[in-house]
Chains A and B, each alone.
Chain A
């Protein structure tokens, strides 16, 4: 993390669901204009971390600030975030156009609309149909288009390419890289390491709610003496290597 004043700054974030500690004093800084990949096995706390940033989950302790402003209380900060949930499930009887109009309404009419992804996905002819008749892949494209629609500063994408065909997945990745060059910040999760390797500048590795590594992708490979992210992450999960990094 080179940037002193990150887009997202998280310190000592903890959250427990009953007896299960999902996040244990997590620290994380996401630099402006960078792509951060959160990796870790299932149940490591990735989704809880993302939902804490979005304010969907209330942390037990710790601080989160977005662009220098602490979150909590005020909801206005979410206007600068584009969120793509893991699964796009929408009201069955509405069309994608209704959905776009609804979110546009909720964000106030002034939002600048970026429909580039809709055109690149070639889904314009599907937008007027009720969402219940759309295929899973098309719904996922609508889900992605929603996150990109309001030209946010910060994108939070939870497994963005899951359920997309290779072509659509490349279109989405290109869009991410193009916006990154334009100075936007991304937080991604994915289980496809090769994909993260293509996109990510930085990696945050979560295991059992603890942040075991945060840093540049290249540093991670250097520390673990591995050439691919997949190998590097696998070797992090063995305690001998995980120890000295934190």
Chain B
């Protein structure tokens, strides 16, 4: 385990000084501050932030992640020539990318709320928002690490990264809407729920909207979702789906990395 922590320590130290990462934090601080200043109500601001988080966090995690790791390629070769285990190095690289992203994101969004001081219920809503963003960071930086070790050609890798983001943010929702429209005469609540569970962004979106009482706006479907998410089965399925989305890319990446020829 110690090799992982050593790699993580220096890798994170490098990543957190990257100007792109700093810009990422400032972006969220400005958006949160703006929404608070012009929207007034912290709950409204958080509701608006959900959509920004769902769009921007996956994009930055996957694009910054792949570019960063492609740039680190020669350095990774130098590290591989040291006495260390490949799976530990992979873990260090993944966490050295993920943790700075999480830290910068949390500070960026948290700071404008923190300086204002919030009541307890807004704090718990803010925690949910940050938690959602953190989970998405873990998923998409995992995908980024997998892509960077899987594709030798960096342009192709970057294309796959952007493609994956487009697929999960835009194309997948289009597909879901198409299914709902095509089978609109059938009861589709459970099918929809299943489709949502297959996409990490949708899981986080649903979980967050339901927390913010958005269920009331979704009519009967919303009631079905609320019932599902409130029950223990719903919590278990959601956590299982998210765990799978975080761990599967890491597991595949470790496998690829261990066998890879540099």
**For chain A residues 39-62, which have a beta carbon within 8 Å of chain B?**
51, 54-58
- A105 partner residues in chain B, CB cutoff 8 A: 6, 9-10
- Known: A17-B261, A58-B259. Is A91-B83 also a contact (CB below 8 A)? no
- A57 partner residues in chain B, CB cutoff 8 A: 261-262
Compute how far the CA of A234 lies from the CA of B73 in the bound complex, rounded to whole angstroms.
34
**For chain A residues 92-108, which have a beta carbon within 8 Å of chain B?**
92-94, 98-99, 101-103, 105-107
Compute how far the CA of A92 lies from the CA of B75 in the bound complex, rounded to whole angstroms.
10
Q: Which stretch from B13-21, B30-38, B121-129, B219-227 is at the chain A interface?
A: B13-21
- Known: A76-B83, A106-B6. Is A91-B75 also a contact (CB below 8 A)? yes
With most chain B CB atoms within 10 A of its CB, the pick from A57, A98, A102, A130 is A102
Find B79's partner among A58, A92, A106 (CB 8 Å cutoff): A106
Cβ of B44 within 8 Å of any chain A Cβ, yes or no, is no
With most chain A CB atoms within 10 A of its CB, the pick from B7, B81, B82 is B81
- A93 partner residues in chain B, CB cutoff 8 A: 13-15, 17-18
Cβ of A87 within 8 Å of any chain B Cβ, yes or no, is yes
Q: CB-CB contacts of B110-133 with A at 8 A, as 1s and 0s?
A: 000000000000000000000000
Contact A56 B81 (CB under 8 A): yes
Interface SS, B side: helix
Interface SS, A side: mixed
Contact B80 A56 (CB under 8 A): yes
Cβ of B145 within 8 Å of any chain A Cβ, yes or no, is no
Count of chain B residues near A, Cβ 8 A: 28
Q: CB-CB contacts of B63-84 with A at 8 A, as 1s and 0s?
A: 0000000011111011111111
Compute how far the CA of A92 lies from the CA of B16 in the bound complex, rounded to whole angstroms.
11
Compute how far the CA of A58 lies from the CA of B259 in the bound complex, rounded to whole angstroms.
8
- A77 partner residues in chain B, CB cutoff 8 A: 83
| Nearest-Cβ distance from residue A90 to partner chain B, whole angstroms | 6
Contact B83 A90 (CB under 8 A): no
- A54 partner residues in chain B, CB cutoff 8 A: 80-81
Contact A91 B84 (CB under 8 A): no
Cβ of A89 within 8 Å of any chain B Cβ, yes or no, is yes
Contact A102 B10 (CB under 8 A): yes
- A94 partner residues in chain B, CB cutoff 8 A: 10, 13-14
Cβ of A79 within 8 Å of any chain B Cβ, yes or no, is yes
**For chain A residues 66-101, which have a beta carbon within 8 Å of chain B?**
75-79, 81, 83, 85, 87-94, 98-99, 101
Find B14's partner among A78, A85, A91, A107 (CB 8 Å cutoff): A91
- A101 partner residues in chain B, CB cutoff 8 A: 10
Compute how far the CA of A159 lies from the CA of B193 in the bound complex, rounded to whole angstroms.
58
- Known: A91-B10, A94-B13, A102-B6. Is A107-B83 also a contact (CB below 8 A)? yes
| Nearest-Cβ distance from residue B247 to partner chain A, whole angstroms | 25
Contact B85 A56 (CB under 8 A): no
- Known: A56-B262, A91-B14, A94-B14. Is A106-B80 also a contact (CB below 8 A)? no
Contact A75 B85 (CB under 8 A): yes
Contact A106 B84 (CB under 8 A): yes
Contact A75 B14 (CB under 8 A): no
Contact A79 B80 (CB under 8 A): no
Find B75's partner among A75, A83, A90, A156 (CB 8 Å cutoff): A90
- A130 partner residues in chain B, CB cutoff 8 A: 17
Find A103's partner among B9, B80, B82 (CB 8 Å cutoff): B82
Q: Which 5 A-B pairs have the closest CB atoms?
A: A93-B17, A89-B74, A91-B14, A83-B81, A56-B262
**Chain A: residues with CB nearer than 8 A to chain B?**
15, 17, 51, 54-58, 75-79, 81, 83, 85, 87-94, 98-99, 101-103, 105-107, 130, 146, 156
Listed A/B pairs (21) with beta-carbon separation below 8 Å: A51-B261, A54-B81, A56-B81, A58-B261, A77-B83, A83-B78, A85-B74, A85-B77, A88-B78, A90-B75, A92-B18, A93-B13, A93-B15, A93-B18, A94-B13, A102-B7, A106-B6, A106-B7, A106-B84, A107-B82, A146-B78
